[in-house]
Structure 1
Amino acid sequence: MTEHPRDSRGRILPDPSWPADRTAPDGLELVRRFCNTTNRENGADRFAEPDGFSGWLPAGPVSATDRARLVAFRAYLHRCADAHATGHAPTADLPEPLPGVAFTVAAHADGLRLEIAAAEAVDRLLGRLVLAVLDAQHRGTWPRLKACTHCGWVVYDGSKNRSARWCSMSACGGREHARAYRRRRSTTRR
């Protein structure tokens, strides 16, 4: 059995791709994985680790300012996913208007496309995330990106009636059913 990677404080780091059966279509999977770079239950955060941006940005140090921008945008996207799960509006607006993120309009044989025109790697990553959200909004899949009502893990709700509430039945769904069972048992014993 493989040991889960841990952060510098010994907390289990999240695997952004879990669970495999709740992945999002198209570019929305990038947004889901980005949101899942922090474990909201134990506080572990991949972006707080020295190599936490590998796979997201080219190798090299990330400035404190850029890290803060990425973390703030991740928090905003998570609030949106949480709002999709609860039916409430996101609790806050975008932290800042994403300075440095720029787009151009390019003409192609199949029509016009927005393309990222940012020079810095962090701005290009933020631009890719923004374009993925815009594409998902256009396709109607954006509201299906939801945060688990128990642990906050972001998953794609592929259910026909769009009523998924947990990251997985084997994890948070099982926990919730066990709690409900214990509540019912304690009520009947009284």
Structure 2
Amino acid sequence: MSIYAAQHWLQSDPPFVFYMLPMRAWELLAGRLIALRVAKAMKPNQTIAEFLAASGLALITASLFLIDEDTPFPDLYALAPCIGAALIIAAGFHRETTVARALSIGPAAFIGLTSYSLYLWHWPLLVFAGIYRNRELFVSERVAVVMAALLVSALSWRFVERPFRRRATGWT
């Protein structure tokens, strides 16, 4: 119902669809199914796990080309990155895949660890930089702001997220 409602309202009120929880609930449901370990019940052999992980990565990569500033979002195009991420996670419950090993190295692992902080910081920094400049930012300026967001995200992860996780769960 959530994705159907999002499709219905997307034509008349795109900001409503983007920001309102009922229209994005289907995305949260995908994450919740993974969190509940519904996919853990699957026990694919190594070949199937590799196929699932590679398919997930292909969907996420395709999203880079399918979704741009002219794409209504969250349209059905949002299914690609959402399902892609779910496939990668589900494939890794019982098997270590090539995709998982690739995502575990240096820069990719850093982006993964700081992704929530980066999600929270990147947009306000981009918006405030545009307000400060009183114009649309040049590509070089956007790159500089994103680099600043990476730095702030790393600090936020280290000094905010990690301490909360340790205190709440004992997890590092």
TM superposition score normalised by structure 2: 0.26
More strand by share: 1
Relative contact order (C-alpha < 8 Å, sep 6+): which is higher? 1
TM-score after normalising by structure 1: 0.24
Greater helix content: 2
